[in-house]
Structure 1
Amino acid sequence: MRRYTLATLVAAATLAGLSAPQAIAAASPTSQDRTFLVQAHQGNLAEIAAGKDAGKHATTVCVKRAGQTWVHDHTKLDASVRKLADKTHTRLPSSPSAAQQKALQAVQSKAGSSAYDEAWLKAQAAAHRKTLAAIDQEIKHGTNSGVVAAARTARPMVAMHLDMVRDGVCHQAPHSTHHAS
């Protein structure tokens, strides 16, 4: 087996157009990666709050179960986001964005009525479409392999949530044996 010296490897990398600083920079989080982590965290906080609220105020079993799913799944996703934020030294906010809070308040104003369920479903469909767009942006343009991997891991779950609320109609999760009411 041939042994390559460090000088030979550096020369080969230089000829290939690479340099050590470029290789290191490619692994470091960019503003895209950091923005994604912040958006993902705020989205998770918003979905957890919306899920808990559905548990209290929804009038149908399907929306209540969807809310339980949101709390479970987004809590799990957020644990991963928080670990990545620590590793990448990304500062995360402590609450959902003002727009997310306003959207939840609009839904809450209909608490206890069938209008609540309809508003919740529509708000969740819109939120999950935005989340999928942010995930796809990270997958396409992110540079930190850990953050991109987290986006790839989250995508099927967020897509399933969108399927559950698509067009403002509640559908049970694919793995669920319960029927919507």
Structure 2
Amino acid sequence: MIRRIIVLLAVAVVVLGGSVSGVLAQPALNQQDKQFLAQAHRSNLAEIQAAKLAEQKTNNQSIRTIARRLVVDHTKLDASVQRVARTAGVPLPDRPGPKQADTLSRLSKLSGAAFDAAWLRAQVAGHRQSLVNIGKELQGGSSAEVKNLATTAKPIVQGHLEMLQQARSGTGGSPSPRSTPSGTHRGTPRSTPTGTHPATPTR
């Protein structure tokens, strides 16, 4: 009986040995990994709230389209962040950071062109900061899984930033002309001659 138990234990060690060593081989999360998870979660919460606010307040079709994209993308990104944090046992904040909350509060009090300009400015700044955070994680993180989150998020955040910068240059702080197709560079109507300022009537 004892010999049988020893044999079964030996088999279990052989069968489970690969998975156990694989788990042990995974590096523990360092402080940078934990900080990135918290920052990414806060940023995602802030971006989603700001995007939903834009969907409610803006009359600018380009901004409305970008806002819908931000909700979808940041919801997906945050689901991955929460999954990794939950597996690693890292607690996440339940709301955006103080500065992000202040920005959301200020945006909620604006309307029209003032809202559009402030919203785009805040989103450009927020996405630039997210790219800085991603760079720090890729350079200083120790967890392959957390770094993979950063690698996945980087082109998505960069794409958002490019869209926001294009919309910002197109609006110049004011809503784009309604006839301007979404994504048209600088919001210039196709009938406007090259080099003519869009706001200047052709004489």
TM-score over 0.5 (shorter chain): yes
Taking structure 1 as reference, are residues 149 and 80 closer, same or farther at Cα in structure 2, changes over 3 Å only?
same
May I ask how many residue pairs the two structures share in their alignment?
A: 152
Aligned-partner SS, 1:169:
helix
Taking structure 1 as reference, are residues 55 and 170 closer, same or farther at Cα in structure 2, changes over 3 Å only?
farther
| Pairs within 5 Å for 1:166-177 | 166=165, 168-169=168-169
Matched letter for residue 135 of structure 1: I
CA distance in 2, matches of 1:93, 1:56: 26
Residue 35 of structure 1 pairs with residue 35 of structure 2:
yes
Where does residue 143 of structure 1 map in the other structure?
Answer: 142
Taking structure 1 as reference, are residues 102 and 79 closer, same or farther at Cα in structure 2, changes over 3 Å only?
same
1:169 deviation in Å? 3.2
Where does residue 5 of structure 2 map in the other structure?
Answer: none
C-alpha contact (below 8 Å) 1:62/1:170 kept by paired residues: no
Aligned-partner SS, 2:55:
helix
1:26 deviation in Å? 6.5
| Pairs within 5 Å for 1:2-13 | none
1:179 deviation in Å? 1.8
Residue 62 of structure 1 pairs with residue 62 of structure 2:
yes
Unaligned runs of 5+ in 1: 1-22, 172-177
1:170 deviation in Å? 5.7
Residue 179 of structure 1 pairs with residue 182 of structure 2:
yes
Query: For 1:132-175, what per-residue CA distance to the aligned partner results, in whole angstroms no more than 9, with x for missing partners?
Result: 0000100111100000001000000000011111273369xxxx
Where does residue 124 of structure 2 map in the other structure?
Answer: 125
1:30 deviation in Å? 0.6
Unaligned runs of 5+ in 2: 1-22, 172-180, 188-203
| Pairs within 5 Å for 1:73-88 | 73-88=73-88
Taking structure 1 as reference, are residues 49 and 170 closer, same or farther at Cα in structure 2, changes over 3 Å only?
farther
- Of all paired residues, the percent bearing the same amino acid is 36
Aligned-partner SS, 1:27:
coil
C-alpha contact (below 8 Å) 1:47/1:71 kept by paired residues: yes
Stretch deviating more after TM superposition (23-32 or 119-128)? 23-32
Q: TM-score, normalised by structure 1?
A: 0.79
Q: TM-score, normalised by structure 2?
A: 0.71
Q: Which is greater in Rg?
A: 2
